[in-house]
Amino acid sequence: MSVVEIEGLKKSYRVYQKNEGLLASVKGLFHRTYKEVEAVKGIDLKVEQGEFVAFLGPNGAGKTTTLKLLSGVIHPSGGTARVMGYVPWKREHAYRRRFALVMGQKNQLWWDLPAQESFRLHQQIYRIDAKDFDRTRDELTELLQVRALLGRPVRELSLGERMKMELIAALLHSPEVLFLDEPTIGLDVVAQHNIQQFLRHYQEVRQITILLTSHYMKDVAALCRRAVIIAQGQIMYDGSLAGIVDRFSGHKVVTLAFADDEAPDLSHFGTVVESHTPKIKLRVDRPKVAEMLATVLRDHVVSDVSVEDPPLEEVIADMFQSAEASLATNKS
């Protein structure tokens, strides 16, 4: 049985539409217009025990809404979901004791108190055995290197340190399923890296199931083998990260350096992206790559060659744009 099973999951909101201008504001006093917004439009998904899955998608795609549905914070407007066999929005204690949600933009620690006080509160709320609690806390603080900060009020911690504390708070009860919503948002590169390392290590050792949303492709590339792309409330892709490029990008990036300061015109092979003699970078349709290389190597003296996939960010950004465009045309 899969750990997470989602079928036809839907969520729509009613949103008040505010109109511009004085007259409209006055009208708003008496009569309001609402709009139905479909945040999640029927998602099917299965996640197995021990998987580390990334949810990718532009802002407002429905990633966070999906995580919230799976945490039982909100009720769906349709469809079913089971996590470890529980229906999340029933909010059973037994379920809530076995998973955790971390949101990078929110904090649940007491702002004015040292993090260890919040941890103790969690110990009581989750009824963690004193010995287990001490062991887990020490292990986590050791791994994240925040032992010295335990006694400092949370408001005095840096964003990265605070995020580490949030993670510890979420992991104290050793959840079997972990939902991470933008855990590295706003962090500097070093802090991002630390948190990635920690998550990878923790997941490998514990073999827990993790669902992650992030805007940083680095997070995703470092952590997840499987990626689920959501746009406009629907799943566009579900598979390996590498597969995204294969499937959605029809071209490769070829960089050539010529000996003898030569700069031949190669524009008939593809789009030139950069040209600094003797170096040329160009985008070439996949089927044409072999032919092009053969021709160039035959006709010119080449000192260096590289053939790369386009950066993941670019592929995904292109994909979102085309998805949005196609949906927009469908609507009109």
Contacting positions for another protein (CB under 8 A):
13, 18, 21-22, 25-26, 28-29, 39, 60, 64-65, 68, 71-75, 89, 91, 93-97, 100-101, 103, 105-108, 110, 112-113, 117-118, 120-121, 124-127, 153
Contact present, 62 and 6 (Cβ < 8 Å): no
117/324 with CB nearer another protein: 117
Please give the Cα distance from 238 to 129 (Å, whole number).
39
- Write down the least CB distance from residue 41 to another protein, Å: 15
Rounded CA-CA distance 295/291 in Å is 6
Shortest approach of another protein to residue 271 CB, angstroms?
A: 38
> Least distance from C-beta 75 to another protein, angstroms?
6
216-247 in b/e form (b: 16+ CB < 10 A) is bbebbeebbeebbbbbbbbbbbeeebeebbee
CB burial readout 61-80, b (16+ within 10 A) else e: bbbbbbbbbbbbeeebbebe
| Cβ proximity to another protein, 18 vs 135, nearer residue | 18
- Supply the minimum distance, in Å, between the C-beta of residue 106 and another protein: 6
Q: Which of 137, 112, 103 is nearest to 122 (CA)?
A: 137
Give the separation between CA 19 and CA 332, rounded to whole angstroms. 23
Closest to another protein by CB, 106 vs 247, is 106
Looking at the Cβ atoms of 117 and 309, the one nearer to another protein is 117
Contacts of 306 (CB under 8 A, 6+ apart): 254, 255
CB 57 within 8 A of CB 235: no
**Helix, strand or coil for residue 149?**
helix
The torsion region of residue 62 among left (phi > 0), alpha (psi -120 to 50) and beta comes to: left
Q: How far is the CB of 81 from another protein (least distance, A)?
A: 16
Nearer to another protein, 111 or 306 (CB): 111
Closest contact distance (angstroms) between CB of 103 and another protein is 7
Cβ proximity to another protein, 118 vs 141, nearer residue:
118
Q: Are 164 and 102 a contacting pair, CB within 8 Å?
A: no
273 φ/ψ angles, rounded to the nearest 5 degrees:
-95, -40
Q: Considering the complex, what minimum distance in angstroms separates the CB of residue 153 from another protein?
A: 7
Q: Judged by CB, which is closer to another protein: 68, or 251?
A: 68
